[in-house]
Every structure is written in C-alpha cells, then in structure tokens.
Amino acid sequence: MTLFDLTGKVAIITGSSRGIGRAIAERLAEHGAKVVISSRKAAPCEEVAAGINAARGAGRAIAVPANISSKDDLANLVARTREAFGRVDIVVCNAASNPYYGPMSGISDDQFRKILDNNVIANHWLIQMVAPEMIERRDGAIVIVSSIGGLRGSPVIGGYNISKAADFQLARNLAVEFGPHNIRVNCIAPGLIRTDFARALWENPETLARYNSTTPLGRIGEPDEIAGVAVMLASKAGSFMTGQGIVVDGGVTIT
C-alpha cells in the first residue's frame, strides 16, 4: 500500500461528467477507488463511467444522474451507490452553479437563492446523507470544491463568491463536528481552470492575458491539477488534515 492507495474505497463525485469533477473521478479510480459519476444528464455520466471501466476494469464506476438542487435526487444518488457498492467512504461535492454575472445590486432573489441552494445547501444535504455510516465506521473523507472566489471580492461574481466563502465555513464547522468520529472535511479552492464552467474567462484573449500576467506560474490550471489534491485529501496522505482550504491557483492570490 502507498499513502495514496484508495483500494476498497467508494467515492461519490458530483458534477463529474466533465471538467474538474471528471478529472477527480478518473484519478480516484486510478488509485483504486470505485466511483459514482453524477451530473444532471445521464448520457455524459454513462460515457465517463464507461471510460473508467474500460481503463480500470468492469464494475469500477457507475453512473447515477442527479440534480443537486433536488434533495430527492441526492437521496437516490446515495441509495443507488449503496445498492451497487455497499457503502460510501468518500464524497466530493464538486457541482455548482452561477446563473448571474454582474454587481450584487442587480442580482434577483431567485438567482441569489439558486446560487446558495446549489453551492452550499446541496453540499450540506449530501454530506448529511452519508455522514451516519461514516460515523458508524469511524472513517470518511469529504471534499468540497470551493474557489479562490471565496477569498476575494468581485464586481461581477459576488453571489458566487459569497457561496464559495460559505463552503469554507461549512467545511470548518463540519470538521469540528465530525472530527471526533475520524471524519475529515476539507475544501479545495481552485483558481482559473480550463473547464467549460470557466470558458467565458479563458477563451477571451484579453482576460486570459490579464490573468496570466498576475499569476506567478504564468498560466491557468488544468482539471488534473485539482484532481491530485483531491486524491491526497481522500487518502491516508491527508489523514491529519481537516477543516482546511487548499488553494490551487498558480499563485495568483499571493500577488
């Protein structure tokens, strides 16, 4: 065994049909975990699961579509995971939404509620659904994908940033509650990553050049560069880390 071995572990990853979530699912599987691919649409989930099974062996991945805004969908996600694999050891809350771009003065109540519901409350729901069995086994790893937006103000994505700041506190608070049961809860805070979710930023040459000019590494990140941190947090390599937010941003927040 190595510090990063996840053999025998079962992981649910939301928003895992593409981007950061997909990279995390593929790398968890590479390190031995059985993974559950979940996002809103069935076909993309099944495609990712099929790819993992082809690479890692049949039965290593299943697809369970779920809309994170639906508590019933999340309950079904957990139930289907237990039916297929018998347990849940790792949860990665990656799915999020941002339906509004502009100053806080212009955001509608419905838009703000959707951001908070999907980016904070849905994470709380899913974590509470899996926590009892983790408490019983005295073992579990929970990873919330937050953002460096949760550490900064913004004139155009303030609602999103507020939700990501709340995710940091959700992890801290749950780390205190679950720590006595040997359950770890941490956040990853990516900077700008080459995903469909952030396409409007990195596809604009001026925006990209401006971002790169203030980033010590001089470039944006790739989904796989977030996945490695998730593997660490889910494995024995991260066994003494809880309640933390790990910034993975090429250094942009230090300049």
Instruction: For residue 1, give Cα distances in angstroms to 26, 87, 139, 237.
Output: 19, 21, 18, 12
Does residue 1 sit within a domain? no
Does residue 52 sit within a domain? yes
Integer Cα distance of 179 and 73 in angstroms: 28
Task: Give pLDDT, residue 195.
Answer: 87
pTM: 0.96
Active site residues: 160
Give residues with Cβ within 8 angstroms of 247, minimum separation 6.
148, 151, 189, 191, 253
| Average pLDDT of adjacent 10-residue blocks, the chain of 255 residues | 94 97 98 98 98 97 98 98 98 96 97 98 98 98 98 95 98 98 98 84 83 94 97 98 98 95
Task: Give pLDDT, residue 204.
Answer: 82
For residue 20, give both structure tokens.
């950061």
Pairing of strands 140-145, 90-93: parallel
Does residue 98 sit within a domain? yes
Does residue 4 sit within a domain? no
Task: Give pLDDT, residue 216.
Answer: 97
Does residue 255 sit within a domain? no
Task: Give pLDDT, residue 196.
Answer: 82
Which value, to the nearest 10 degrees, does the dihedral of the CA atoms of residues 135, 174, 36, 225 take? -130
- Give the type of residue at 78: V
176 contacts 166 by C-beta, under 8 angstroms:
no
Give residues with Cβ within 8 angstroms of 204, minimum separation 6.
none
For residue 99, give both structure tokens.
């339906």
Give residues with Cβ within 8 angstroms of 72, minimum separation 6.
none
* Domain interval for residue 175: 10-248
Give residues with Cβ within 8 angstroms of 227, minimum separation 6.
20, 23, 24, 26, 27, 28
What total number of domains does the chain contain? 1
Q: What CATH number is given to the structural domain containing 15? A: 3.40.50.720
DSSP category for residue 121: I
For residue 32, give both structure tokens.
């031995």
Pairing of strands 245-248, 90-93: unpaired
Does residue 3 sit within a domain? no
Does residue 121 sit within a domain? yes
Q: What is the number of H-type helices and E-type strands within the chain?
A: 9, 7
Does residue 254 sit within a domain? no
CB atoms within 10 A of CB 202: 17
Task: Give pLDDT, residue 237.
Answer: 98
Task: Give pLDDT, residue 15.
Answer: 97
Task: Give pLDDT, residue 208.
Answer: 87
